[in-house]
Amino acid sequence: MRIVVIGQAAFGQKVLEVLTGRGEEIVGVYTSPDIPGKANPLKELAVQLGIPTFQPREMRTPEVYAEYIKLKPDLNVMAYVTSIIPESILNYPKLGTIQYHPSLLPRHRGGSAINWAIINGETKTGITIFWPDRGIDTGPILLQKEVEISPDDTVGSLYFDKLFPLGIEASVESIELIKKGIAPRIPQDESQATYEGLCTEKDAVINWLQPVTKVYNLIRGTNPQPGAITHFRGKRLKLFDAELAAGDLGEFPGRVINITKEGFTVAAMDGGVLIKRVQVEGAPKIAGAEFAERVNLKVGTDLVSKMLQ
């Protein structure tokens, strides 16, 4: 079976590594154009393995299609794809195209599925291997695997510790089902569908007047990107690693109520959040305790959201 891998980043690299290690015939790799100063692990591995590698800026051109069909693929495997792939390429292989998505479709369609599941306070998610069509994450489902979202999971831990390895395993399992001719195509239940746009900084501004669980979920649901945003002394301050301190602390929301070697605790409605890692605007991330020492942070200092300034 002649396979074209379309993808990027560490996930795309691992899919290629596992498939070639299993003896699959990879006839081509499509990945994103190089970014100066940033590694492209999928490209590096493909070149090392001697696999024809392509980096078009736009997949929807006649030139890309003409080049692609020369590979005569039987199957496309999409491993972490953020660009739109035209139907001409999706439908060309006789066995079709499969794609990985880090949610239990039809829930959380879109490019920030992991962020929104955590921000919403959900306790389970998973991965879906599906047959993509012209919509955004709307094609029939091949298989799904479910995982628990732990109370302290961040986007980083949920992805790298759970959804990443599960996605590799599911990709291999899906290819085996396709080889055997028993891969299902289960229509998505549109009545259960949700779609969210990319989680950006405008979605990550903390409102300290919200219940502490919502504040905490926003912090871990934007860690490591884009980072939860508050303001200190007129500058944007991003909050990352944190720990929930439940129970009414009797302090004004947004107020620093404790400073220790672990970080600093900020009050919210019905509790507080221990902040362990931060990033001041224009500077690298540092430990919360180091930040407190550098700026001479005092108990009683108020952090504010942009809407309250």
**CATH number, domain at 247?**
3.10.25.10
- 206 and 294 housed in the same domain: yes
What is the tally of structural domains in the chain? 2
- 47 and 30 housed in the same domain: yes
- Smallest CA-to-CA distance from 83 within 54, 52, 57 is with 57
**Domain of 68, in residue numbers:** 2-192
- 176 and 246 housed in the same domain: no
pLDDT in tens, 178-223: 999 999 999 999 999 999 999 999 999 999 999 999 999 999 999 9
Domain boundary among 175, 192, 209: 192
- 171 and 241 housed in the same domain: no
Domain boundary among 162, 192, 222: 192
- 217 and 186 housed in the same domain: no
At 306 the pLDDT is 61
- 71 and 148 housed in the same domain: yes
Helix %, strand %, coil % of the chain (to 5): 30, 30, 40
pLDDT in tens, 22-76: 999 999 999 999 999 999 999 999 999 999 999 999 999 999 999 999 999 999 9
Tell me the one-letter amino acid at 144.
Q
Q: What is the DSSP letter of 117?
A: H
